[in-house]
Amino acid sequence: MMRCAVFGASGGIGAALVGQLVARDDVEAVFAGSRRGAVPQGAKIVPFTFDALDESLAQTVAALGAPLDIVLIATGRLTRADGSGPEKALRQLDAGALAEQFSDNAIVPAMIARAVQPLLPRERRCVVAALSARVGSIGDNRLGGWHAYRASKAALNMLLRTIAIEWARSHPRAVVAALHPGTVATALSAPFQRGVAPDKLFTPAMSAAALLRVIDGLTPADSGGFFAWDGTMIPF
Report the interface residues with ligand NAP, using CB under 6 A. Answer: 8, 10-14, 34-36, 52, 74-78, 104, 108, 131, 133, 180-181, 183-184, 186-189
When the beta carbons of 11 and 224 are compared against ligand NAP, the nearer one is: 11
Collapse the DSSP code of 189 into the 3-class scheme (helix H, G, I; strand E, B; otherwise coil) and give the result. coil
Q: In this complex, which beta carbon is closest to ligand NAP, that of residue 36 or of residue 142?
A: 36
The helix/strand count (H/E) of the chain reads as: 6, 9
State the minimum distance, in angstroms, from the CB of residue 27 to ligand NAP: 20
Letter for the amino acid at 88? K
CA distance 114 to 196: 36
Cβ closest to ligand NAP, residue 8 vs residue 225: 8
What are the φ and ψ backbone dihedral angles of 218, each rounded to 5 degrees? -80, 140
In the chain, alpha helices (H): 12-22, 56-62, 95-102, 108-116, 147-170, 204-217
Q: Compare residues 8 and 19 and give the one whose CB is closer to ligand NAP.
A: 8
CB of 143 to ligand NAP, least distance (A): 14
Task: Give the count of beta carbons closer than 10 Å to the beta carbon of residue 197.
Answer: 7
Residue nearest to ligand NAP as judged by C-beta position: 76
Least spacing, CB of residue 208 vs ligand NAP, in Å = 10
Rg (CA), the chain: 17
User: Judging by DSSP bridges, how do beta strands 126-131 and 174-180 pair with one another?
Assistant: parallel
* Shortest Cβ 135–ligand NAP spacing (Å): 7
Helices (H), 72-203: 95-102, 108-116, 147-170
> With respect to ligand NAP, which residue has the nearer C-beta, 14 or 220?
14
166 closest CA partner among 236, 227, 224: 224
Nearer to ligand NAP, 12 or 225 (CB): 12
